[in-house]
Amino acid sequence: MKCIVLAGGGGLRLWPLSRKGYPKQFLKLGGSRTMFADSVFRNQIFCDEFMVITNDSYRFIAEKEINSLEINNYQILLESIGRNTAPAITIAAMLSDPEDILFVVPADAQIHDEIKYKEALENAEALAHEGNIVTFGIKPTSAHTGYGYIKYNANNVLSFKEKPDHDTANKYLDSGDYLWNSGMFMFKSCVFLDELKKYRGDIFDSCQQLVSKIKRDKIINLVKEDMIRIPSESVDYAVMEKSQKMKVVPSDFYWNDVGGLEALCDMLSKDENDNSLIGDNTIINNCKNVSVINDTVNKIVVANDISDLIITNTSNAIYVTAKGSSQKIKDIINEHQESKGEFFNDDIKIYRPWGFYEVVVSRENYKVKRITVYPGKRLSLQKHKFRSEHWTIVSGTAEVTIGEKIMECTANQSTYIPIGERHRLANKGYDNLEVIEVSLGSILSEDDIIRFDDDFGR
């Protein structure tokens, strides 16, 4: 069985924890692994091959995560632009053998109870071998308005329902005839493609044209010129709501898609006043139904005499919202993206294929960063037209290139890079290299980089 992991979303509804530059599927939300790594880890006993579909911006994050699990049989498909789930799954199916059983999972769901999960997969696999397209329906535990619903009878799908209002969700729950739509599917590759061709031949044809140009490799780039010709559509609308081959496996393992801050708060233990918290430096005093999420170590959050709120604090953003309204953040972000995009897109920690950096101070003519370079990695050979840089080694051993000179620098040593000088920073050691960088100049943005050599093809 091949596992198709959908890992391309931006996770806007979980802002400010999730950012465009580092979305929720790559966050550790209460566990030792990220949600993406969990999605791969829990399925490696069932699947002998993995295909990850993600945005090309997340290539090195996904690759680092899957390699940390010591999984070798995988491919990563990199989307230059997102076209929703139907094209992503179609391309994966076209790159698979016709008789392959494909298990499609989102990379951002919390799932517990291994025994019930295994039982659901075994039931689904049996139905998939019979030529059905199988979805996993979660037995609802509340009248949730953030999920789609499936009306069912035994393994038969009677209809799909959009996210309901509260009254309708209560009716669904009381009837016992509905399941939450988990967004997980299982089918033979050929069965799915036949159904897609029947109902959305335009998606089938445009994906087929793209796949015909693909060079089969471990990392596959789906170029923008070909992707943009593919209609953007969800797999639910394209196939699942139309197909006569749909079956459902009613499942009662724990499932939470962590679709927003309220879903995250639902996972937390609560005190006698229904308050919950994440983070050590947090105080809740005389509050009712308040959730505080403090994602910093150097700031304290104190909530006093309030009710029915979610307070989320990060290094460069604070979001305060009434419970029941947190998902409006997606509209707020879209409305203010142009003027406030730097806060919506990135935290102060910016990830790169060689490691990450944190912006400590940023002013008009100078910027201070804390740079961390992973063992064996190096930055590009580059120069800047508008800024000079000072590097001070905090820990580790750096190989520093400035012009034609290559030197080794250790903790408490510094070096200076003039404007216009070629330079490179490399970590030849076995531990992380930490460097404080002070940049001075008229333009301090990442746009002022001219690369001459780069290990990551940028």
121 in the same domain as 265: no
CATH, residue 127: 3.90.550.10
In a domain, 104, yes or no: yes
In a domain, 331, yes or no: no
Beta bridge partners of 372: 356, 434
Q: Domain boundary residue among 256, 276, 311? A: 256
pLDDT at 53: 97
308 in the same domain as 222: no
97 in the same domain as 9: yes
Instruction: List the one residue out of 96, 51, 80 whose CA is nearest residue 227.
Output: 80
In a domain, 45, yes or no: yes
353 in the same domain as 438: yes
No. of helices (H) and no. of strands (E), the chain: 11, 29
Q: Could you tell me the residue range of the domain that residue 309 belongs to?
A: 261-326
Angle at 349 between CA 302 and CA 59, to 5 degrees: 130
189 in the same domain as 309: no
**Helix/strand/coil (H, E, C) string of 218-285?**
CEEEECHHHHCCCCCCCHHHHHHCCCCCEEEEEECCEEECCCCHHHHHHCCCCCCCCCEEECCCEEEE
Give the chain's domain count. Answer: 3
Distance CA 398, CA 382 (A): 16
Contact 450, 385 (CB under 8 A): yes
Contact 449, 352 (CB under 8 A): no
CA distances from 115 to 44, 111, 140, 189 (A): 15, 11, 19, 26
Determine which helix (DSSP H) or strand (DSSP E) holds 1, and give its type and residue range.
none
In a domain, 353, yes or no: yes
pLDDT at 342: 86
The residue ranges of the chain whose pLDDT is under 70 are none
pLDDT at 36: 95
Contact 110, 255 (CB under 8 A): yes
Two tokens at 163? Answer: 């996210």
222 in the same domain as 176: yes
291 in the same domain as 214: no
In a domain, 439, yes or no: yes
Instruction: List the one residue out of 295, 299, 329, 298 whose CA is nearest residue 314.
Output: 295
Beta bridge partners of 6: 53, 106
160 in the same domain as 72: yes
In a domain, 141, yes or no: yes
pLDDT at 348: 83
Mode of pairing for the β-strands spanning 49-55 and 74-79? parallel
Q: Domain boundary residue among 235, 256, 277? A: 256
In a domain, 342, yes or no: no
Q: Domain boundary residue among 326, 360, 378? A: 326
In a domain, 300, yes or no: yes
pLDDT at 145: 84
Distance CA 335, CA 321 (A): 17
At how many degrees (to 10) do helices 201-212 and 85-94 cross?
A: 50
227 in the same domain as 293: no
Residue 323 CB partners (closer than 8 Å, separation 6+): 262, 265, 289, 291, 308, 309, 310
Determine which helix (DSSP H) or strand (DSSP E) holds 408, and give its type and residue range.
strand 405-409
141 in the same domain as 38: yes
In one-letter notation, the amino acid at residue 133 is: I
CATH, residue 416: 2.60.120.10
Distance CA 230, CA 205 (A): 9
227 in the same domain as 305: no
In one-letter notation, the amino acid at residue 205 is: D
396 in the same domain as 303: no
